[in-house]
Structure 1
Amino acid sequence: MARVMTAPASSPSSPSSSWRRRPWVRWATPLLIVAVLAVLPLVGTEFQNETLARIGVFAVAVLGLNVVMGYTGQVSLGQIFFLGFGAYVTAYGVSQDWNIVLVFVLACLLPAAAGLLVALAAARLGGLAIAMVTIALPIVGVPLAKRLNEYTGGSQGLSARFAESPEGSGLYDDQWTLYLVIAIGGVVFLLTHFLVRGKYGRAFAIVKGNENVAASMGISPYRYKVLAFTIASAIGGVSGFLYMLVIQYTSPETMSFGHSIELLAAMVIGGAASIVGSLLGGAFYVLVPQLTNQVDASLTALLQGAILLVVLFVLPGGLASLPRALTRGRRRLRAGRGPAAPPTTPSSTPGSGTAAEQPETERQGHA
């Protein structure tokens, strides 16, 4: 009887996954990121540093929107209002020569308080109802900012400059500003990372998945929606402080509804429920208009919409899902090829067996 020699099945190794599990990689990666961020402002030009600082500002704004929409699943179309609120608080405090630390605290707390009041009334709603409530924020905020001339400067807006580099530091103003954005934004991103990875993040995910299931598990959907909205408002206030740090000017146009839609698009393109997606969303918010303006300023909105459609068609999870999509593509490609044909020995060919392997009757016939 012919014998077939088959190769033993081998499980493909994954060097990349085993490499990530090594202990030194876990602490070396954060150190490498910190080192890059420490050197980045020193090697960039003034234009590059200003662009990176703008990206940091709107990455924080997208992060706040991600907390309430990406991680908790609540519709919010008014995040730009809290950015503008924080910017106005910062500009007014600087113009009154208040302590800058106090200004920063107020720029965080006052938008958070406003967000808490809105959330207490709107968190019991859902779907289009809460969307309409949040839409009203920038729609009401623009004319309100124009009327409060004493605090907002009316239609002319307010300007404030408080980011001059310290004497003796040897840094230019753009370098010092970028360092401040990296430091403040980095802390906000780090705290948000711990928040969404902890018990509150798990509660947010359950509320997002099914509010009835959350209630049956003892998790109050109303409480956690209010909490998420308040945190998102506070992060919006931080982005407003950074906005004044970098842009140094704000007006009622800052909190227009169109900018709120652009923030929403940036979050979707970067990736919902993703820390990295918030960074990518900030980059999209700043860089894409610059690129489209160079192509044709009159087609900026059209080109941005086309980019949005292409990204959502190719990557429904946003740019942050690109590594996962590539991994799935490689797995499907390997699965499509199928297992290799098993090698055979010469004995598997008919009529090529040895005398010892031939049937007994055949040997007797030869005899």
Structure 2
Amino acid sequence: MATLSSSLRSRGARIALIAVVAIVLLAAPLFMPAIANLTLVRVGVYAVAVLGLNIVMGYAGQVNLGQIFFVGLGAYVTAYGVKQGWNILIVLIAACVIAGIVGLLVALAAARLGGLAIAMVTIALPIVGVPLAKRLDTFTGGSQGISAIFSTAPDWSGLFNDQWQYYIILVVAAAGFLLARALVRGKYGRAFAVVKDNEAVAASMGISPYWTKVLAFTIASVYGGASGFLYLAAVQYTSPETLSFGHSISLLAAMVIGGAGSIVGSLIGGAYYVFVPQFTNAIDPNFTTVSQGVILLAVLFLLPEGLVSLPRVLRRPTRRKPARAAPAGTPPSSAASPDPAPQNPAPASTERHDPS
């Protein structure tokens, strides 16, 4: 009964916390300045990109160094759809589906590879993507890039543009995080974990490592496309620089620092991607790359599981070690300790009495 009561209290506290967080997120843009709203918008954009990377790397254990390619692809598809006058919901679906199809084609070829080979395949994506975006200037605007404005607040909303953009990113990002949580907690998440730990064991359990990797990579690509849609909603402009390989490495660092294999860690990684460069640039722009490298090394050495593990690490010294259980069959301490040596009894008399 006590256990049930404790469980209900814990569940009630969790629901109350979620409700408070939801209210804060919904009310925040109405009271914050525009610059704060735009900063949170960027956090949401990159948190979705890091989340996709976390699914394929953190949960499925497959190397992907080209996630930024799918972010850029989603941004270009979004810009093209807006220019063609498509419905905004159709644009979002197109960005996700086209990025997912390209990711599927890459995964079908790359999932059979491992280690350095698959790393080189994914590295090639942004390296090829930048010149390709410059060449296809009819669709991409070439080196000058392309702009598309579709996140202007409608008159009926009574909101400013930054507030409207915030709510667009909030709705899409929240849906993405909820879907990812359901995914990693279900049968596919268990399949990802088994394949990540040991592919031979996964095969013996009837789980195909190849198709599991293909699925994880494709899902990550879809999240990249969604992030590209959000990127254009926030920035309203994209160029070949969006697909730069340096951005892909920054996404990877953000995932590691936030926490690989963690939904919350993806959100922390998105915040890191936005806030840390701003902080380091304010100190000294010349040492931005060096300082970020130092931060990455410090987190890897001190918190190998990322910043998401910090509360658990801080609680660890305060936990009392449980009492050591006695081995089976050991008598109680009072019986186990030997009795004190008995006093010597009085020696029996050896004197012989006369029967008379």
Give the 3-state SS of the residue equivalent to 1:77 in structure 2. coil
Shift, 1:18, TM fit: 4.6
1:138-168 deviation line (CA, Å, top 9, x unaligned): 0000000000010000000001111111213
Of 88-97 and 107-116, more deviation after overlay is shown by: 88-97
Question: Structure 2 vs 1, CA of residues 194 and 57 (structure 1 numbering), >3 Å: closer, same or farther?
Answer: same
Determine whether 1:134 maps to 2:122.
yes
Determine whether 1:58 maps to 2:58.
no
What does residue 265 of structure 2 align with?
277
Contact residue 82 and residue 237 of structure 1 kept, 8 A: yes
What amino acid is the match of 1:288?
Answer: V
In the TM superposition, 1:18-33 aligns within 5 A as 18=6, 21-33=9-21
- With the length of structure 1 as denominator, give the TM-score of the two structures: 0.85
Distance across 2 between alignment mates of 1:21 and 1:110:
45
What does residue 95 of structure 2 align with?
107
What does residue 265 of structure 1 align with?
253
Contact residue 80 and residue 260 of structure 1 kept, 8 A: yes
1:230-260 deviation line (CA, Å, top 9, x unaligned): 0000000000000000011110010110000
Distance across 2 between alignment mates of 1:327 and 1:49:
33
Give the 3-state SS of the residue equivalent to 1:268 in structure 2. helix
Q: 2:290 aligns with which of 302, 326, 346?
A: 302
Q: 2:77 aligns with which of 66, 89, 98?
A: 89
Shift, 1:327, TM fit: 2.2
Give the 3-state SS of the residue equivalent to 1:321 in structure 2. helix
In the TM superposition, 1:220-235 aligns within 5 A as 220-235=208-223
Q: How many residues align?
A: 324
Give the 3-state SS of the residue equivalent to 2:12 in structure 1. helix
- With the length of structure 2 as denominator, give the TM-score of the two structures: 0.87
Aligned alpha-carbon RMSD (Å): 2.1
What amino acid is the match of 1:182?
Answer: L
Distance across 1 between alignment mates of 2:286 and 2:20:
42
What does residue 351 of structure 1 align with?
none
What amino acid is the match of 2:252?
Answer: L
Distance across 2 between alignment mates of 1:18 and 1:246:
44
Contact residue 20 and residue 26 of structure 1 kept, 8 A: no
What does residue 154 of structure 2 align with?
166
Q: 1:193 aligns with which of 169, 181, 189?
A: 181
Q: 2:63 aligns with which of 70, 75, 81?
A: 75
What amino acid is the match of 1:32?
Answer: V
Determine whether 1:147 maps to 2:139.
no
Q: 1:218 aligns with which of 206, 226, 229?
A: 206
Which 5+ residue runs of structure 2 have no aligned equivalent? 325-342, 344-356
What does residue 240 of structure 2 align with?
252
What amino acid is the match of 2:181?
Answer: H
Give the 3-state SS of the residue equivalent to 1:168 in structure 2. helix
What does residue 167 of structure 2 align with?
179
Shift, 1:179, TM fit: 0.8
Which 5+ residue runs of structure 1 have no aligned equivalent? 1-16, 339-358, 360-367
